[in-house]
Amino acid sequence: MADMMIVTIDGPAGSGKSSTARNLAKRLAFRFLDTGAMYRAIAWACLEQDVDPNDQAAVVATARRTRIEFDGDRVLVNGDEVSAAIRQESVTQASSVVAMHPDVRDELTRQQRVVAEGMNIVTEGRDQGSVVFPDAECKFFLTADPMERARRRHRELHDKNDDASLDEILEQIKERDRRDENRVVSPLVIPSDAVRIDTSHLQPTEVLDQLEQTVRARMSPQDA
């Protein structure tokens, strides 16, 4: 096995993959590659430069001239910190449009592979194990019942004083699943060599423990 290891965590929205990936990276002392932040960074750059997120050619051009860097949990675009700015609702909406462009996904796939080169990486998303890192040494696919994912999202929004109803969130989750599974470019699929974990009835630490145990079993003795 290669000295460096790539761990991919894919799954639908609300399955817990983002927090799991971040915490797994900390446990393993690996680097966490926040691919979602990369799409958000490009969307933010487009909005800042009055680039139409629907214009694929213009968005690709923006992506190619945008330098995205990570400093711990901080996200930098061309040297400026945008950690909070890329979480704005306008950026969230724009990033979903940006991510649907095939050429944009190709460009960010290239950038993600460059970032991961020669590094121990934990990365999460919709297509990390199936498209971006098909030869990753360790792949996971996290899932959960739609209602449980809706409950999690509902709790998050409640903590932010958002009064969206559980039924509304459930419908959004189901629609997001349909869109992710049926999109032409990089649809949400379970890689044939991925370890599938249903997180519906598991505590976050239980999920994390399972992943850590699996990864360490596949690491070379000197790295475990």
| Tens digits of residue pLDDT in 117-147 | 999 999 998 899 999 999 999 999 999 999 9
Q: What is the pLDDT of residue 1?
A: 40
Please state the CATH superfamily assignment of the domain spanning residues 1-30+120-213 in this structure. Answer: P-loop containing nucleotide triphosphate hydrolases (3.40.50.300)
CATH topology match: 1-30+120-213 vs 37-119: yes
Q: 199 pLDDT exceeds 90?
A: yes
Note whether 45 and 170 are within 8 A (CB).
no
Alpha-carbon span 211 to 205, nearest angstrom: 10
CATH class of 37-119: alpha beta
Q: Is the pLDDT of residue 224 over 80?
A: no
**What confidence score (pLDDT) does residue 176 get?**
80
Give residue 22's pLDDT band: very low, low, confident or very high (50, 70, 90): very high
Q: What number of other Cβ atoms are within 10 A of residue 87's Cβ?
A: 13
Domain residue extents for the chain: 1-30+120-213, 37-119
Residue 2 confidence (pLDDT) above 50: no
